Structure 1
């Protein structure tokens, strides 16, 4: 979340964008966190663009063809960029990351201390296929949230004016909590796409296998690997939250 976000041009050149980080809306101490992007780019010998706007890597989901998906809950909080509205943020994203459109979902998962990062609920598997988290549990607050997001995605169009292929991805059936009663944002959508494989969180849950099958079908050229994530999720995220993708030079 506090690392550089890499961009490429049509020639294959890579640069890093360095956004401000304030610990997910000033929730924890972050006095050293903004040193990470300069240190990374220095180590890589890569130039970077410094952007004085608070933004986290997990708050943006991108298809590489001009479409970005995010959530209002995260980007429009008054603890990140209080003087900026939706139109202001869209302009910054388009100017610096090359987007041509932004799809705004409403809310993320209950218990997500990042204020609803998109990478815990909705992900692209290719330029036109979107995997989005769903649950049918009538007693779960996430049910209404995910249904609303699903409706937005089904109504959305890509940059060619075509409908996206929206695929429902189950959430874990069991709810998980810390000892103090805080709910954990357990999700299969926080998978990490690496070279030749997709690493998928597993929670010893009845929906582990069905979720793996959905993701496997969405990535036919990748090996789909499930790895236990019950301990990792106690930190508030899983494999995608732990990583930042760097394109090959």
Structure 2
């Protein structure tokens, strides 16, 4: 792994109770950042904080419902009170797709998917950007998906939200790059997490089928996706603006 230096910086990571978010939070803290670990599941967010503390890092947990603007604002306000400002954000919270075709998808399932995975990114940037500007600039990474670049039957709410994240990311990138904020998105393939494990229901056959969709022949470890997030946040990606970076083992090129 590349060694990054985020010493003295402050970051917030949503969906950090496990999976990609937990891995990103731990990697940021290991690189010197003070990290706010945000998730709807406060118990697991606090577990992430314990892991970071065990690694010698500095982190604090906060409960957030990214589908509610006021909750996201409270998360950012907490970050600024706790650590004095905000430099970086990883808007990562998400849920599993619907598992239903368009005509069969209940309205409430559609609306919840869009609320969490698209509006949640909008609310994140809406409240994070002023705090980052107050520090003189920084960077944001939004989690889209390989499904943000292609279609996927039976997951219309997930695919629409993840496509929307890319459009929102590119628009925000253009709006704020001249003010010193670089904004990009990652498009992960399937990565190991509690959410993915629940989706596969512990079935080795299901995992093999999902792995076979990726030319690399396996699903990702969460740390592999986190490494891409840290690169995009870091100065090593100083000329990368509005990108939708596939980190998918070749999934979207097949």
TM-score computed with the length of structure 1 as normaliser: 0.38
The structure whose RCO (Cα within 8 Å, separation 6+) is larger is 2
Greater fraction of residues in strand: 1
Greater fraction of residues in helix: 2
TM-score computed with the length of structure 2 as normaliser: 0.37
